[in-house]
């Protein structure tokens, strides 16, 4: 069993990492961190940066990181990676939106919710 966390460097992405790490530990599942980048290719430097961000948040928690280009479709890349790693749960962060933002949601989070074949846990960053 695997918990997959869609992570980026936003407060919401950080909170998804915290909650996903805790959920993986609670379940006794493997933790896979998914990071999709808006680029055509991923470098060793990109992978090292993601590893460092995860270590900063989770400390010594064991994880595997998958860093891949998004191919112009961030949500599709997240769903594809989650499927590829055999995720049984996907954790993703979301930010609070205005009424118009909710109406126009068209966001990565909404697409992942609609397209992902496994349950998706959506978390938000703490209010400041």
Q: What is the pTM of this model?
A: 0.88
SS3 8: coil
Best CA proximity match to 18, nearest among 93, 84, 89, 86: 93
Q: Please check the confidence at residue 106 and state whether its pLDDT lies above 90.
A: no
Q: Please check the confidence at residue 120 and state whether its pLDDT lies above 90.
A: yes
- Domain count of the fold of the chain: 1
Percent of the chain past pLDDT 70, that is, above it, reads: 90
Q: Indicate the burial class of 59 (C-beta count within 10 angstroms; 0-12, 13-18, 19 or more).
A: exposed
CATH number of residue 74's parent domain: 3.40.50.620
Residue with tokens 């860093």: 67
* Predicted pLDDT of residue 71: 85
* Predicted pLDDT of residue 4: 97
Return the sign of the alpha-carbon dihedral for residues 4, 85, 115, 119.
Answer: negative
pLDDT tens readout for residues 11-27: 999 999 999 999 999 99
Range of the domain at 66: 2-124
The average confidence (pLDDT) of the chain is 90
* Predicted pLDDT of residue 40: 86
45 or 106, higher pLDDT: 45
pLDDT tens readout for residues 70-80: 888 989 999 99
SS3 12: helix
pLDDT band with cut points at 50, 70 and 90 for residue 104: low
pLDDT tens readout for residues 90-99: 999 988 665 5
Measure the CA–CA gap between 90 and 24, rounded to whole angstroms: 11
Tell me what the mean pLDDT of segment 74-87 comes to.
94
């Amino acid at each position: 069993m695997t918990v997959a966390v869609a992570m980026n460097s936003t407060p919401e992405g950080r909170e998804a990492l915290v909650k996903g790490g805790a959920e993986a530990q609670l379940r006794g599942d493997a933790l896979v961190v998914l990071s999709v980048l808006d680029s055509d290719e991923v470098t060793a430097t990109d992978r090292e940066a993601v590893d460092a961000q995860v270590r900063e948040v989770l400390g010594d928690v064991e994880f595997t990181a998958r860093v891949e280009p998004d191919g112009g479709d961030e949500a599709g890349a997240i769903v594809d990676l989650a499927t590829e790693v055999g995720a049984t749960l996907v954790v993703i962060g979301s930010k609070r939106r205005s009424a118009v933002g909710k109406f126009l949601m068209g966001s990565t989070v909404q697409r992942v919710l609609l397209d992902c074949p496994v349950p998706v846990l959506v978390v938000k960053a703490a209010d400041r």
